[in-house]
Structure 1
Amino acid sequence: MNISFSAACKQTQPAMVNFPGGLINLIPRHRRKEKVVVVMGATGTGKSRLSIELASRFDAEVINSDKIQVYKGLDIVTNKVSEEECDGVPHHLLGFVDPTADFWAHDFVHHASAAADDITKRGRTPIIAGGSNSFIKALINDDLHFRSRYDCCLLWVDVAMPQLNSFVSARVDQMVDSGLVAEAHEFFNPAGDYGRGIRRAIGVPELDEYFRSEGRASSAAKAKLLQRGIDQIKSNSQILAARQRQNIRRLLNILRLAEPLEWRMHKLDATEVFRKRGGEAEEAWQRLVAGPSTSFVDQFLCEDKMDFAGPLILAPQALPL
């Protein structure tokens, strides 16, 4: 399904439009907004991959909007993109906040706006990518500074929950194999407080009982506690993915109902990608996600939005008698 709500026009001169009974002079504003691409999606849907591919193609830089990946540390637990995966694309707001600090939506708005301003001043395009929809809403919908400066193209990478649940579960197993447990142990809190900073990350609180069992339980008991914690990580990750999908729908409805002519929104169904393996999965990704996204962004970046300064000026003969 492709949702598109914005009409763009390449005209730069005032237009005289004929209507029955007279002329209407359409006077465009001579202020062009900068362009921003927003890549949305639940955890595990391929947002990072798509944002990097688009950035490589369109001379862009990525601004992270994941509320846990902004923190330093827990690279495996939070599934941060590696330097190799970044493929030379600059990333902003990734792993820069102290692990014990609070980082709220208004903090994100401040830093993301500054990053976007810096990127556009250097002639490049910002791509905002992440699953924290409260951050994205605070920036692109609630912040007047950002809305006055930028037009947005929103790309939603979606995957049906059965396929996404299976992928998320398998990804947790891969993360465990890569050292998730040892990494999470660094943030074990004997006081049991996991409500602040990076300790909120899925993968840390779930292993609390296992970490507490060290030196107190048998090997068999510890193994059971570890498996229970891993299962809870999988369950909570799946719950997060479902909640993120709901929040994306809610956000898109808010944007659509608020000012439908201001947004370009495109949904990319990647479910087939997750049903396939190897070369078939890659072909499906290019056909269903990367290819269409490239076309949407190319059109978005090339178009000149037409704003009209109101009220409309009507020729005298068009006025009602």
Structure 2
Amino acid sequence: MQKGIIAIVGTTGVGKSDLGVQLAKTLQGEIINGDSMQVYKGLDIITNKIPLNEQETIPHHLMDFLEPHQEYRVTDFTKDALQIIDDIHNRQRIPIIVGGTNYYIQSLLWKNSLIEGDSLNIYEKESNIENDEILNAEPKIVYERLQKVDPVMASKWHWNDTRRVRRSLQVYLETGKPHSEWIKEQNLPEEKASSLRFPRTCIFWLYSDLEVLDHRLDARINKMIEGGLFEEINYLRNNVRTGEVKTPFGDGGFTRGIWQVIGYKEFDQYLAAVEESNDASYINELKQHGIESMKAATHRYARTQVRWIRNKLLYKCQQDSLVNILNENSSDIRMYLLDATSLETWNQEVRDKAIAIAKEFLENGTGPDPSSVNSRAKELLRPKKNMDDFEILDKWTKYQCDICTMFNDNIPRIINGESGWNQHLKSKKHKSNLKLKKQFDENYDGQFPPWFKKKKDAGSKTNV
């Protein structure tokens, strides 16, 4: 077989670990953990590690080796995983990446998928006090600073889109290079042509209907509680109280390291009440609230994972596949969606299809059309973006509709992007305002007549 690689992605609780073991047994493979929480020692329940007896003697790398107070960055993962992959390939075996931390997977499969500066990923750099003060200023001030250092990115974002504006400014502050320059470099043809690390990359996306998955996730959380979830939570809490473990956040934010795992922060109030209150009823109420919060957070996380896979990972696969075809490269990457909604059909729809596809792709570089594997694949693997437009920066344009601004108390009506502008021009509201404007131009010299102002002040509809 070629020195290929298999990656298994999907939502939490969909069965990625099980499929990893099944593939490894058949393909002489070894598993590399791609979950940012499963790198921590112990804490097997809260991080949902595959139990030892279910690993079936298959080697599992990068799992269960880090202390709770330590942090593990995406750049650390990429470096360590590449060394392990090289070793696995040298032993004529197949590396199988299994995990739900999708930016880990993306940073491993592509050379330039994440912005880096000074060998540290910009999205995970240590906090800088001076930069933090700039980034935490009022949104308009942050936006004005971005306009000065990176007008291209400023033109892409609305000033009140604080998360994106701050992220773009952070890239400049931490690397000294505008965010737009990083993106331009990553979209150069020579970069795209060489971005895939492994010549044959096969990604399996395990997908389940989300409503079905929600019930499965709730049942798993109940099982986690029965299996000792609260013992692990108390272990972490006691280590913090005794000073054996230093939390890396300091201000109560659960955004780094093991502390961001779902199942700890949701019980913060409950744990505090256990320490400070003797009201059993109140404590139990907080505990039940924490359980419901954990379930709700897990549901939200599953949906976030689906969005990442569709909008980022799938798009990156399709983008690279197209570039390789155009440049006649020998490298190839494919993503296959496997329907894991029904556990009763797991063997036929997931295990057997994955084994057959992986064998053919790794041996011959061929395989079935990904959209033909099942009915969900045809729907969910459909490109969501124009594959002829690799997000060229000069197409990131803001449009202001003067017509709709006029009929909106002169509050600017801003539309982002060419496609959004075209949709706006076809909208009923815009066409209605055009009709009004034409009427006013013909009868009132383009001015608002008194009756119209009165209707606006009275809250009446402005359409005619």
Whether TM exceeds 0.5 here: the answer is: yes
1:82 to 37, 51, 63: 51
Aligned position for 1:141: 110
Aligned position for 2:85: 116
Task: Answer yes or no: is 1:72 the counterpart of 2:41.
Answer: yes
Task: Answer yes or no: is 1:197 the counterpart of 2:246.
Answer: no
What SS is found at the alignment partner of 2:95?
Answer: strand
Where does 1:100-249 land on structure 2 (aligned, <5 Å)?
100-142=69-111, 147-188=196-237, 189=240, 192-214=252-274, 215-249=276-310
- Deviation, 1:72, is 1.6
Q: What is the CA deviation profile of residues 88-116 of structure 1, one whole-angstrom value per residue up to 9, with x for unaligned ones?
A: 10000111222212212111110111111
What SS is found at the alignment partner of 1:211?
Answer: helix
- Deviation, 1:62, is 0.3
Give the direction of change, closer, same or farther, for the CA distance of 1:115–1:146 in structure 2 (3 Å limit).
Answer: farther
Aligned position for 2:320: 258
Asked if 2 retains the 8 angstrom alpha-carbon contact of 1:35 and 1:151, the reply is yes
Alpha-carbon distance in 1 for matches of 2:298, 2:342: 21
Asked if 1 retains the 8 angstrom alpha-carbon contact of 2:317 and 2:335, the reply is no
How high is the TM-score relative to the length of structure 1?
0.78
Alpha-carbon distance in 2 for matches of 1:220, 1:232: 18
2:61 counterpart letter in structure 1? H
2:338 to 232, 254, 268: 268
What SS is found at the alignment partner of 2:5?
Answer: strand
Asked if 1 retains the 8 angstrom alpha-carbon contact of 2:217 and 2:298, the reply is yes
What SS is found at the alignment partner of 2:13?
Answer: coil
Asked if 2 retains the 8 angstrom alpha-carbon contact of 1:102 and 1:197, the reply is yes
1:139 counterpart letter in structure 2? L
- Deviation, 1:193, is 4.6
Q: What is the CA deviation profile of residues 59-79 of structure 1, one whole-angstrom value per residue up to 9, with x for unaligned ones?
A: 100001011111223110011
- Deviation, 1:196, is 2.5
Asked if 1 retains the 8 angstrom alpha-carbon contact of 2:110 and 2:197, the reply is no
What SS is found at the alignment partner of 1:103?
Answer: coil
Asked if 2 retains the 8 angstrom alpha-carbon contact of 1:194 and 1:200, the reply is yes
Aligned position for 1:34: 3
Alpha-carbon distance in 2 for matches of 1:97, 1:150: 31
- Deviation, 1:216, is 1.1
Identify the range of structure 1 (209-218 vs 80-89) with the bigger mean alpha-carbon deviation.
209-218
Aligned CA RMSD, in angstroms, stands at 1.9
Asked if 2 retains the 8 angstrom alpha-carbon contact of 1:113 and 1:146, the reply is no
Task: Answer yes or no: is 1:46 the counterpart of 2:106.
Answer: no
- What fraction of aligned residue pairs are identical, expressed as a percent? 32
* Larger Cα-atom Rg: 2
Asked if 2 retains the 8 angstrom alpha-carbon contact of 1:165 and 1:238, the reply is yes
Give the direction of change, closer, same or farther, for the CA distance of 1:85–1:270 in structure 2 (3 Å limit).
Answer: same
- Deviation, 1:301, is 2.1
Alpha-carbon distance in 1 for matches of 2:195, 2:321: 15
Identify the range of structure 1 (60-69 vs 206-215) with the bigger mean alpha-carbon deviation.
206-215
Task: Answer yes or no: is 1:295 the counterpart of 2:264.
Answer: no
Give the direction of change, closer, same or farther, for the CA distance of 1:170–1:304 in structure 2 (3 Å limit).
Answer: closer
Q: What is the CA deviation profile of residues 22-44 of structure 1, one whole-angstrom value per residue up to 9, with x for unaligned ones?
A: xxxxxxxxxx9511011111101
Q: What is the CA deviation profile of residues 278-316 of structure 1, one whole-angstrom value per residue up to 9, with x for unaligned ones?
A: xxx2xx0011101110110110121158xxxxxxxxxxx
Structure in which a larger fraction of residues adopt helix: 2
Aligned position for 1:286: 347
2:209 counterpart letter in structure 1? A
2:339 counterpart letter in structure 1? D
1:50 counterpart letter in structure 2? L
Identify the range of structure 1 (48-57 vs 90-99) with the bigger mean alpha-carbon deviation.
90-99
Asked if 1 retains the 8 angstrom alpha-carbon contact of 2:2 and 2:362, the reply is no
Q: Which runs of 5+ in 1 are unaligned?
A: 1-31, 274-280, 306-321
Alpha-carbon distance in 1 for matches of 2:226, 2:219: 11
Asked if 1 retains the 8 angstrom alpha-carbon contact of 2:34 and 2:97, the reply is yes
What SS is found at the alignment partner of 1:259?
Answer: helix
Q: What is the CA deviation profile of residues 133-184 of structure 1, one whole-angstrom value per residue up to 9, with x for unaligned ones?
A: 1111111123599834442111111001100111111110110011101111
Alpha-carbon distance in 1 for matches of 2:341, 2:346: 10
How high is the TM-score relative to the length of structure 2?
0.55
Give the direction of change, closer, same or farther, for the CA distance of 1:268–1:222 in structure 2 (3 Å limit).
Answer: same
2:231 counterpart letter in structure 1? A
1:48 counterpart letter in structure 2? S
